[in-house]
Protein backbone atom coordinates (compact mmCIF):
# COMPACT_ATOMS: atom_id res chain seq x y z
CA UNK A 1 0.00 0.00 0.00
CA UNK A 2 1.33 3.45 -0.90
CA UNK A 3 2.05 6.07 1.75
CA UNK A 4 -0.79 8.17 0.31
CA UNK A 5 -3.38 5.39 0.65
CA UNK A 6 -1.98 4.59 4.11
CA UNK A 7 -2.57 8.15 5.31
CA UNK A 8 -6.02 8.15 3.69
CA UNK A 9 -6.87 4.91 5.45
CA UNK A 10 -5.93 6.49 8.78
CA UNK A 11 -7.96 9.63 8.01
CA UNK A 12 -11.08 7.66 7.02
CA UNK A 13 -10.68 5.35 10.03
CA UNK A 14 -10.58 8.41 12.29
CA UNK A 15 -13.78 9.78 10.74
CA UNK A 16 -15.45 6.43 11.40
CA UNK A 17 -14.17 6.43 15.00
CA UNK A 18 -15.50 9.92 15.76
CA UNK A 19 -18.87 9.28 14.12
CA UNK A 20 -18.44 11.57 11.11
CA UNK A 21 -18.91 8.45 9.00
CA UNK A 22 -21.64 6.37 10.61
CA UNK A 23 -22.30 2.60 10.59
CA UNK A 24 -24.15 1.70 7.39
CA UNK A 25 -23.21 4.94 5.60
CA UNK A 26 -22.32 4.64 1.92
CA UNK A 27 -18.73 5.60 1.08
CA UNK A 28 -18.70 7.23 -2.33
CA UNK A 29 -15.22 7.04 -3.86
CA UNK A 30 -15.68 10.19 -5.94
CA UNK A 31 -16.92 12.19 -2.95
CA UNK A 32 -14.06 10.97 -0.76
CA UNK A 33 -11.53 11.74 -3.50
CA UNK A 34 -12.87 15.29 -3.74
CA UNK A 35 -12.87 15.69 0.05
CA UNK A 36 -9.23 14.63 0.35
CA UNK A 37 -8.03 16.17 -2.91
CA UNK A 38 -6.79 12.92 -4.45
CA UNK A 39 -7.70 10.55 -7.26
CA UNK A 40 -10.04 7.59 -6.73
CA UNK A 41 -7.19 5.05 -6.89
CA UNK A 42 -5.65 5.72 -3.44
CA UNK A 43 -9.18 6.04 -2.00
CA UNK A 44 -10.01 2.60 -3.38
CA UNK A 45 -6.78 1.19 -1.91
CA UNK A 46 -7.60 2.74 1.48
CA UNK A 47 -11.11 1.28 1.47
CA UNK A 48 -9.76 -2.18 0.64
CA UNK A 49 -7.40 -1.91 3.60
CA UNK A 50 -10.23 -0.76 5.88
CA UNK A 51 -12.31 -3.70 4.65
CA UNK A 52 -9.51 -6.08 5.66
CA UNK A 53 -9.69 -4.52 9.15
CA UNK A 54 -13.45 -5.06 9.32
CA UNK A 55 -14.28 -1.35 9.43
CA UNK A 56 -15.71 -1.21 5.91
CA UNK A 57 -17.76 -3.66 3.84
CA UNK A 58 -17.22 -3.65 0.07
CA UNK A 59 -20.25 -4.95 -1.83
CA UNK A 60 -19.87 -6.08 -5.45
CA UNK A 61 -21.25 -3.47 -7.88
CA UNK A 62 -22.73 -1.47 -4.98
CA UNK A 63 -19.63 0.09 -3.47
CA UNK A 64 -18.46 0.37 0.13
CA UNK A 65 -20.30 1.13 3.36
CA UNK A 66 -19.15 1.64 6.93
CA UNK A 67 -19.49 -1.73 8.67
CA UNK A 68 -22.40 -2.26 11.05
CA UNK A 69 -22.27 -4.58 14.03
CA UNK A 70 -25.41 -6.32 15.28
CA UNK A 71 -26.01 -6.01 19.04
CA UNK A 72 -25.25 -9.68 19.74
CA UNK A 73 -22.03 -9.53 17.74
CA UNK A 74 -21.08 -6.34 19.58
CA UNK A 75 -21.43 -8.13 22.92
CA UNK A 76 -19.33 -11.02 21.63
CA UNK A 77 -16.60 -8.71 20.37
CA UNK A 78 -16.44 -6.87 23.68
CA UNK A 79 -16.23 -10.25 25.46
CA UNK A 80 -13.15 -11.12 23.39
CA UNK A 81 -11.72 -7.63 23.86
CA UNK A 82 -12.13 -7.98 27.63
CA UNK A 83 -10.20 -11.26 27.62
CA UNK A 84 -7.41 -9.88 25.42
CA UNK A 85 -7.02 -6.86 27.70
CA UNK A 86 -7.07 -9.12 30.76
CA UNK A 87 -4.26 -11.22 29.27
CA UNK A 88 -2.23 -8.11 28.44
CA UNK A 89 -2.76 -6.78 31.95
CA UNK A 90 -1.78 -10.04 33.62
CA UNK A 91 1.48 -10.15 31.69
CA UNK A 92 2.12 -6.42 32.14
CA UNK A 93 1.87 -6.79 35.92
CA UNK A 94 4.59 -9.44 35.76
CA UNK A 95 6.80 -7.94 33.07
CA UNK A 96 6.69 -4.15 33.09
CA UNK A 97 9.89 -2.40 34.14
CA UNK A 98 10.09 0.57 36.50
CA UNK A 99 10.40 3.04 33.63
CA UNK A 100 7.31 1.52 32.03
CA UNK A 101 5.42 2.02 35.28
CA UNK A 102 6.34 5.70 35.01
CA UNK A 103 5.05 5.83 31.43
CA UNK A 104 1.78 4.17 32.48
CA UNK A 105 1.39 6.68 35.31
CA UNK A 106 2.05 9.55 32.88
CA UNK A 107 -0.68 8.22 30.56
CA UNK A 108 -3.02 7.97 33.55
CA UNK A 109 -2.21 11.56 34.56
CA UNK A 110 -3.02 12.70 31.02
CA UNK A 111 -6.44 11.03 31.37
CA UNK A 112 -6.94 12.96 34.60
CA UNK A 113 -6.40 16.26 32.78
CA UNK A 114 -9.04 15.37 30.19
CA UNK A 115 -11.46 14.23 32.89
CA UNK A 116 -11.01 17.50 34.80
CA UNK A 117 -11.58 19.43 31.56
CA UNK A 118 -14.86 17.49 31.12
CA UNK A 119 -13.76 16.64 27.59
CA UNK A 120 -14.91 13.13 26.67
CA UNK A 121 -13.38 13.32 23.19
CA UNK A 122 -9.92 14.25 24.53
CA UNK A 123 -10.30 11.62 27.22
CA UNK A 124 -10.98 9.09 24.47
CA UNK A 125 -7.59 9.72 22.84
CA UNK A 126 -5.73 9.71 26.13
CA UNK A 127 -7.59 6.56 27.14
CA UNK A 128 -6.29 4.89 23.98
CA UNK A 129 -2.73 5.87 24.94
CA UNK A 130 -3.29 4.44 28.44
CA UNK A 131 -4.38 1.07 27.10
CA UNK A 132 -1.53 1.07 24.59
CA UNK A 133 0.93 1.25 27.50
CA UNK A 134 -0.61 -1.94 28.87
CA UNK A 135 -0.46 -3.71 25.51
CA UNK A 136 3.21 -2.78 25.11
CA UNK A 137 3.90 -3.68 28.73
CA UNK A 138 2.76 -7.27 28.14
CA UNK A 139 6.00 -7.80 26.19
CA UNK A 140 4.10 -10.23 23.97
CA UNK A 141 4.10 -8.72 20.48
CA UNK A 142 1.58 -11.17 19.04
CA UNK A 143 -0.93 -10.65 21.85
CA UNK A 144 -0.48 -6.87 21.71
CA UNK A 145 -1.15 -6.85 17.97
CA UNK A 146 -4.35 -8.87 18.37
CA UNK A 147 -5.54 -6.48 21.09
CA UNK A 148 -4.75 -3.45 18.92
CA UNK A 149 -6.60 -4.91 15.93
CA UNK A 150 -9.80 -5.55 17.87
CA UNK A 151 -9.46 -2.24 19.71
CA UNK A 152 -9.43 -0.49 16.34
CA UNK A 153 -12.49 -2.42 15.19
CA UNK A 154 -14.37 -1.30 18.30
CA UNK A 155 -13.14 2.30 18.34
CA UNK A 156 -16.48 3.93 17.37
CA UNK A 157 -18.31 2.00 20.09
CA UNK A 158 -15.68 2.55 22.80
CA UNK A 159 -15.87 6.25 22.03
CA UNK A 160 -19.66 6.28 22.30
CA UNK A 161 -19.46 4.65 25.74
CA UNK A 162 -17.48 7.61 27.05
CA UNK A 163 -20.32 9.97 26.13
CA UNK A 164 -22.67 8.24 28.56
CA UNK A 165 -23.22 10.27 31.74
CA UNK A 166 -20.52 9.71 34.39
CA UNK A 167 -18.67 7.10 32.29
CA UNK A 168 -15.47 9.19 32.02
CA UNK A 169 -15.25 9.64 35.81
CA UNK A 170 -15.95 5.94 36.35
CA UNK A 171 -13.41 4.94 33.70
CA UNK A 172 -10.73 7.09 35.33
CA UNK A 173 -11.38 5.54 38.75
CA UNK A 174 -11.08 2.08 37.20
CA UNK A 175 -7.79 3.12 35.58
CA UNK A 176 -6.41 4.06 39.00
CA UNK A 177 -7.14 0.59 40.35
CA UNK A 178 -5.52 -0.95 37.27
CA UNK A 179 -2.37 1.14 37.67
CA UNK A 180 -2.12 0.21 41.34
CA UNK A 181 -2.51 -3.49 40.58
CA UNK A 182 0.11 -3.43 37.81
CA UNK A 183 2.65 -1.55 39.93
CA UNK A 184 2.01 -4.01 42.76
CA UNK A 185 2.73 -6.88 40.36
CA UNK A 186 -0.67 -8.47 40.99
CA UNK A 187 -1.42 -10.14 37.68
CA UNK A 188 -4.69 -11.80 38.62
CA UNK A 189 -6.19 -8.64 40.10
CA UNK A 190 -5.06 -6.65 37.05
CA UNK A 191 -6.71 -9.17 34.73
CA UNK A 192 -9.97 -9.10 36.70
CA UNK A 193 -10.03 -5.29 36.78
CA UNK A 194 -9.39 -4.96 33.05
CA UNK A 195 -11.98 -7.59 32.21
CA UNK A 196 -14.62 -5.68 34.18
CA UNK A 197 -13.40 -2.37 32.73
CA UNK A 198 -13.98 -3.49 29.13
CA UNK A 199 -17.07 -5.72 29.40
CA UNK A 200 -20.41 -4.23 28.35
CA UNK A 201 -23.41 -5.84 29.95
CA UNK A 202 -26.57 -4.86 31.77
CA UNK A 203 -27.00 -1.12 32.04
CA UNK A 204 -23.78 -0.32 30.19
CA UNK A 205 -24.98 -2.27 27.16
CA UNK A 206 -28.39 -0.56 27.31
CA UNK A 207 -26.66 2.83 27.45
CA UNK A 208 -24.50 1.99 24.44
CA UNK A 209 -27.49 0.84 22.37
CA UNK A 210 -29.36 4.02 23.33
CA UNK A 211 -26.37 6.08 22.20
CA UNK A 212 -26.31 4.27 18.86
CA UNK A 213 -30.04 4.90 18.41
CA UNK A 214 -29.55 8.59 19.21
CA UNK A 215 -26.75 8.81 16.65
CA UNK A 216 -28.96 7.18 14.00
CA UNK A 217 -31.86 9.55 14.74
CA UNK A 218 -29.60 12.57 14.36
CA UNK A 219 -28.41 11.26 11.00
CA UNK A 220 -31.94 10.60 9.75
Indicate if 137 and 110 belong to the same structural domain: yes
Residue pair 137/71 in contact by the 8 Å Cβ criterion: no
CA neighbours closer than 13 Å in the CB half-sphere of residue 17: 19
For residue 151, CA distances in Å to 53, 145, 147 come to 11, 10, 6
Indicate if 107 and 199 belong to the same structural domain: yes
Report the range of poorest mean pLDDT among 14-18, 77-81, 145-149, 195-199. Answer: 14-18
- C-alpha dihedral (105, 107, 112, 113), degrees to nearest 10: 130
pLDDT, mean of residues 169-181: 96
What pLDDT is attached to residue 218? 54
Domain limits for position 44? 3-66
Number of domains in the chain: 2
Q: 163-188 as b/e, with b when 16 or more CB fall inside 10 Å?
A: bbeebbeebbeebebbbebbbeebbe
Indicate if 157 and 198 belong to the same structural domain: yes
pLDDT digits (tens, 9 = 90+) for 47-57: 999 898 888 99
pLDDT digits (tens, 9 = 90+) for 121-166: 899 999 999 999 999 999 999 999 999 999 988 888 888 777 777 8
Indicate if 157 and 62 belong to the same structural domain: no
Closest residue by Cα to residue 62 from 38, 96, 26, 90: 26
pLDDT of 220 above 60: no
Indicate if 17 and 81 belong to the same structural domain: no
pLDDT, mean of residues 112-121: 92
What pLDDT is attached to residue 115? 94
Whole-number Å distance between alpha carbons of 51 and 48: 5
What three-state secondary structure class fits 167?
A: helix
What pLDDT is attached to residue 22? 83
What pLDDT is attached to residue 219? 47
What pLDDT is attached to residue 1? 46
Whole-number Å distance between alpha carbons of 119 and 11: 22
Indicate if 44 and 92 belong to the same structural domain: no
Domain boundary, last residue among 66, 85, 110: 66
What three-state secondary structure class fits 63?
A: strand
pLDDT digits (tens, 9 = 90+) for 16-34: 877 788 888 899 999 999 9
Domain boundary, last residue among 66, 88, 119: 66
Indicate if 55 and 30 belong to the same structural domain: yes
Tell me the whole-structure pTM to 2 decimals: 0.80
Whole-number Å distance between alpha carbons of 50 and 40: 15
Find residue 27's DSSP bridge partners. Answer: 64
Report the range of poorest mean pLDDT among 2-6, 59-63, 184-188. Answer: 2-6
pLDDT interval class at 215 (50, 70, 90) = low
Domain boundary, last residue among 11, 36, 66: 66
pLDDT of 205 above 50: yes
Find which of 4-8, 73-77, 82-86 is predicted with most confidence, using mean pLDDT: 82-86
Amino acid sequence: MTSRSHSLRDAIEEQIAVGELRPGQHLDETELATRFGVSRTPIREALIQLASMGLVVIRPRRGAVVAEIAPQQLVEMFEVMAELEAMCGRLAARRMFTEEHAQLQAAHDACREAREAVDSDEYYYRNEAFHEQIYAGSHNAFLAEQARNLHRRLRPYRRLQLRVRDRVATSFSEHQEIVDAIVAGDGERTAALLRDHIMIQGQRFADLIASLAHLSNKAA
